Each structure stands twice: as C-alpha cells, then as structure tokens.
Structure 1
Amino acid sequence: MYDILLQIPVIGMPVEDFALLLITALAGGAFGAALGALPAFIFTGFVVFLGEGVAILQRELTGQVEAVPAGELAVGITGVIGFGAITGPHIAFAGGVAASAYAGKKYPEMEPDGWDYHFGKNILYAFGTKPDILAVGAIFGTIGMLITQVGNGIFINVLGMTPPTDFIAFSVFATAFLARPAFGYPLVGKPNGSGFLDMSPFEREEPRTATDGGEVPLEHKGRLATEPWLPHQYKWSGVTAIGLIGGILGGYIYIQTGSIFLGYAISAISLLFLNLGVEKIPVTHHITLIGAVGAVVFLPVAGSVVALIAAGVFGAVSGLLGELTQRLFYSHSGTHVDPPAMAIAIAMFVVAVLSIAGILPNAGYL
C-alpha cells in the first residue's frame, strides 16, 4: 500500500524516481540549449551507438534474442541516457530548438554571418552559458519529457495497450510548435508561390514580402520567401532515392544484429559532418529507423529478403513524409519544427494502427 501511494498517477512511476527524472530533464533541456539542438542530437547518436553496441555484445555472450519491453525504446545505455533525460531528443534537442526560437526574437544580433534563414531556425548554434536561454531550454526539455511520460503512461498504464505512436518523436515536434506562439512566431506561416508544397520561390530566390502591403519586418529583410528544411534534400526524386537506400541499410543492420536503433545512431552521428559545414550530407535518421521497423515487421513472416525490400519501402515512405511535413510546417515560418520527428511519429502511428487491426504482425519497437 505504501508503494502504491508513492506512485505518480498515469505515469506509474515512484515519486522519487519522477523527481529524479524531472530534475535531470531540466538540466538536459538546458544542456541542449548550451550545445545547440543539432550538436546535442549528434550526442544522442553517439550514446545510442554505444548502447546498442553493448546490447549486441550482451546478446552474443548470453544468446538472448532481441526483445524490447512494451513501452520501452530499449534498455540500458540506450534507453536511460540516449533516449532518456540527458541526450533524449525530446529533452536535449527540444530544448535546443526552443532556445533558437527564443534567441531569434530576443537576440537577433547573435545571428552568425552566413546564416541565410531566420535565426530562429538555426539549430547549429551553441548558446553557451546565457542564463535566460538555458532556462528556456530547461523548460521546454521538461515539457518534452512530460509529454512523453504522460503519453506512454496513458496507453500503457491506464488503457493497457501499445502506444499508438513514438511519443519521443511526437514530443519533439509538439514542443517546437508550442515555441512558435510562445515566442511570437506564426504557427504555420503563410506560403508563397502556389501553396504550401511549392518550393519554386526558393529556386527562384524570391525575397520575402510584407503580407499587409507595408514594410517587411526587420528580422525578415533580405530573407527568402520560402526556406526549405534542407536545400540539398527537398526534391521528391532525391528524397525517394535516399529513402530507399537508407531504409535498406537500416533494415540490413537490424537483420544482422537484432538492433532496431543502430542504423538510427549511425545516421545521427553522420550529422556531425553537416554541423561542421560539409555540404549535402543527407539527413537519414528517420529513414534508417523506419527502415529497420519495416524489417522488424516483415522478418518473422516473410524472411530476410522480403524484409529487406520492405525496409527500403518503409524508408522511402518515411523520407517522403519528412519532405511533406517540412513543406507544410517548416518552410513558411521562422523556427525549426523537425521533419524527421514528424515523419517518425506519423509512420509509427500507421504501423501501430495496422498492428492493432491485425494487418501487421507487430508494431515494431512500440
């Protein structure tokens, strides 16, 4: 009875453990703001890579088959640190994204030379030790943790069912959307050209114009009318191609190692080169992860070759979802809303629904 009274409702976590998580999430969000959102996410990749490597070694030594407990992303280093309160994307990356949104309005003079988009979209920028920016990161990192814990808790502990999506990915873009009205940005923005999906204003290098016929606000002067998430990765054909490739690689890694998240980790680590300024490095963590899910879904019922082909298809679909969501929600406002997170959340929602309906044999890592 004493233990039950000390449980947090819905979340199903002892009060002391929740307090530990809450305090660490505050620090993790601030850590993401200090390092910058993208550098913090690259650390996610390194930690998950380490955790999955250790897990693979343990399985080789013990002969255990990969098994992810219901509601858990992974175990050990991967789950507690990589996807946990220290480098979890819903905490550290989310804190960094919110910090950039805040600084874009509060400190436009901090914008580095050579950054062409609104400063609120600069997720490469490390904000160091500025207290108010770190506080923003801490608050939004904590919100991301709460969304994830409550979301999973409702479905697992209250409804007794598989979560209908990846709540880490969901909270990454939910906190980013929350930051927009919180700091004075339009929630979606007004498209230029022929609509939300039209990237031709970017290709023509059309400048931003005032929506009311007056002067363009100072923060937008000289900026492009449409700002694609990745100038080197937005054409449908190229996105499909890298989706197929990344999906197959993520699927193959799972088939050979039993790790769903190792391909994701490698993709995240590869972004170090993008952060260092190497041009045209593709962003693929949403592709390799969902590709691995395709292999997880089809391997038990169709064999490795079909599973690998399914992984390529799943990866391509996830890549296209990322491109679709960036055109709808990233390109026309002034802050970063993460297309890979939106793609993962949507893809895993579909997988979960099809699994619940009995169409797919399992729900991947959910």
Structure 2
Amino acid sequence: MADPLVLVVVAFAGGAFGAAVGGLEAFSVAGLLVVVGEAVNLASESVPDPSGVTAALGSSGLTATLGLGPLFGPHVAFAGGAAAAAFAARQGYLDTDFRYHEAKNVTYALGPRADVMAVGGAFGVVGVGLAYGSAGLGLPWDPIAFSIVVSGVLHRVALGYPLIGTVRGDGVLDMTPFERRIRRSPRADGGVVDRSGVDSEGTTGGERRFAVEPWLPHQYEWGQVAVLGAVVGVLGAFVTYRTASPFLAFGVAATTLLFLCVGVERFPVTHHVALVSSLAVVGLAGGATTSAGLSADVNLLVALLVGAVFGVVTALVGELAQRLLYAHADTHLDPPAVAIVVGTALIALLDLVGVFEQALVPTLGL
C-alpha cells in the first residue's frame, strides 16, 4: 500500500462497501477477519510486528492488511458507513422503525445507491488519511480509533448536524429523561421537514424521538457498565496471556456484534474493553510477544487484575463519551472509539513514565 493512489482507491472502495452493507455489519466483518488473521498467526507462530503497518497497532498478516487495513478496517468501512447513514438520513432516504434519529442507524444496509456509496467512500479515504497521519506523527493512542472519532466529528459538521445537540434533563450526563420515556417536541431539523430523519411534521406522542437517546438502551447504567468492563477486561487479559495475541479478544468481541445487527436484544458491546485490556497486559509484560514470555514476566492473577482495572476504566470512559457525544446528538459518534483512544493514551503514558513497556501503541517516537 505504498502507492498513495492505490491506498486512496482501496479506501474509497472500503468506505463505499461500509455504506452499502451497513456500518456495524462492516465492523463485524472486520472483527471476523481479525479472528481469522490471529488464528493464522497463532498457527504459524507469527507475532505482531511493530515495524509493519504502523496505522494498525503493529499487527501483522491478515489482521493488518484486512481486518485493520485500508479496505475493511473500522476507520474505513465502519466510519464510511456511519457517515453514509448520516447523509442518507439528511436526504430523506431512511424510513425505518429505528427508535432514534435515522442518522444514528448504523446497522441499516443502505444498498447500492451511488450517492450514498460515494459519501461512504469519501469518508473511507478520510479515515485512512487520519489513521496514517496519526501513526506517522507517533501520536500516543490507537490511530484507528482516533480516526473513527475525528471522522465522526467531521461528518457531523460537514452534513449540517449539531456537534453536541440540545441537552435535555439536568445536564449532559442525565439519562433520566429516557428512563421516564420523555419525548421531544415535533420539529424539523434545520427547517427541512421529512428529509432529515427527525420527527416529521404532524408526528405525535409515542412516534416522536426520545428526549435523550442513550447509545445502548440496555447498557448505560454506571454500575452495570463497570461490572461488564471488569468481566470483559479479565476475558481480554486471559486470552492475551494464553495466546500472546493482543487482538484476538477484540476480534471475537467485534464479530459478535453481528448479533446486534440481526436484532438480538440486550447484546452487550465490548470490543473496546477487550482491546484495551489486552494491550495493557502486553505493556505490563514488557512487550512480550509469546505466551511463554508473558508467563515468564507476569503472574496470571496480576495480569487478570490489570485487565479488569483497564476494562472498568475503558467501559466507564465509553459511557461518559456516549453521554457527552451521542445521547443528545443526531448522528453516530462512536463511544467505543473514544474509549479506545483514551485507554490506549493511558497505556502510552504508562509506557512513557516507565511503568509499561510496549511497542504497539505509538508514544510520540520516544
């Protein structure tokens, strides 16, 4: 992918693919490719190569080239699909039974509509540029998650949606209006009726949008989120400790989001927790790349405890992000991506101060 033109063409195709099949479906495909890639690496005793594709957290093989690469990578296909959903809602193409603003409907396959795919493709290119730029500068966080966050902000602003939205209730963190099932007053978004995915003229009662829209209506209470984070943090740490793969638990968690795509209710979203807890174990073990090296450097119980701590922190950051950037807004700005940025930034900071030692998360070249 050294040729910039090839990279642009591939990224455009990846973003257009994400628009056609749906952002979350595309993300699940990326997760499946990561699982396959890590399985191949484990079978061949390959290890992550920090000198390889720097925008893909130093991963190698199929994980780097496909699962986290410029075609199916989340910063391309998922981010392109999210931008396309916002565009399609603005154009009035979406009329589903989705309970929130249609621009947040990242599980809906938009199909082969040329203008929608073009928007997805454009943001696929933006995603690759952001990821490679972040990695090239050595910015201290996951370049892919950073790209998803910035892409989400850009498509929100570029398509004319409010950056935060109107805050209802007792402040930006208050989810009680949703719990009380308070609805918004009918309105047109930007003065355009029936073309924005917002309550159309004449909409009444239970047909109107909720006043506050938590990212996951079954996963937003602080205590439950923390417990889930601890559980998945242990899971990620154990998988990494036994396989030396910092991406396998993430791939499994991302793949399972297919259950959300097909309508399984109350299915938890945990890939952000799995990734950060896995990377923390690698950092704790001094960047060890084999299971033998991990077990030689770190006691399993200690690794599990560190995974749990990072799991809780990452899960709570994701919840904070959804309350700040999703619940009051009109488009999908990905809370897990924000959590990964913060979690990996913490890992990079601990590396810089000498607590951790790793080479997967950039550290400003230090």
Q: Above 0.5 in TM-score?
A: yes
Quote the residue 1:50 is aligned against.
Answer: 36
Q: Unaligned 5+ residue runs, structure 2?
A: 287-296
Percent same amino acid among aligned pairs? 42
Quote the residue 1:342 is aligned against.
Answer: 338
> Map of 1:98-117 to 2, 5 A cutoff?
98-108=83-93, 110-112=94-96, 114-117=97-100
Quote the residue 1:158 is aligned against.
Answer: none
The one-letter code of the counterpart of 1:93 is F
- Are the aligned partners of 2:285 and 2:357 in contact in 1 as well (CA < 8 Å)? no
Q: Unaligned 5+ residue runs, structure 1?
A: 1-12, 156-162
Superposed displacement of residue 68, structure 1: 3.6
Quote the residue 2:64 is aligned against.
Answer: 79
Distance 1:94 1:66, change over 3 A: closer
> Map of 1:60-99 to 2, 5 A cutoff?
67-69=49-51, 71=54, 72-73=56-57, 74-99=59-84
Distance (Å, rounded) in 2 between the aligned partners of 1:329 and 1:66: 33
- Are the aligned partners of 1:206 and 1:225 in contact in 2 as well (CA < 8 Å)? yes
Q: Deviations over 1:24-67 (max 9, x none)?
A: 001000000001100000000110000000001111xxxx6655
Of 112, 119, 123, 1:140 maps to: 123
Superposed displacement of residue 307, structure 1: 1.0
SS at match of 1:344: helix
TM-score for the superposition, normalised by structure 2? 0.88
Quote the residue 2:147 is aligned against.
Answer: 171
Distance 1:244 1:259, change over 3 A: same
Larger helix share, 1 or 2:
1
Distance (Å, rounded) in 1 between the aligned partners of 2:322 and 2:193: 23
Distance (Å, rounded) in 1 between the aligned partners of 2:253 and 2:226: 17
Quote the residue 2:262 is aligned against.
Answer: 276
Number of aligned residue pairs: 337
Distance 1:192 1:302, change over 3 A: same
Quote the residue 2:289 is aligned against.
Answer: none
- Are the aligned partners of 2:50 and 2:359 in contact in 1 as well (CA < 8 Å)? no
1:356 equivalenced with 2:352 (yes/no): yes
The one-letter code of the counterpart of 1:153 is G
TM-score for the superposition, normalised by structure 1? 0.88
Of 4, 20, 23, 1:37 maps to: 23
Superposed displacement of residue 354, structure 1: 2.3
Distance (Å, rounded) in 1 between the aligned partners of 2:69 and 2:20: 18
The one-letter code of the counterpart of 1:238 is Q
SS at match of 1:288: helix
Superposed displacement of residue 297, structure 1: 2.2
The one-letter code of the counterpart of 2:124 is G
Cα root mean square deviation, aligned: 2.0
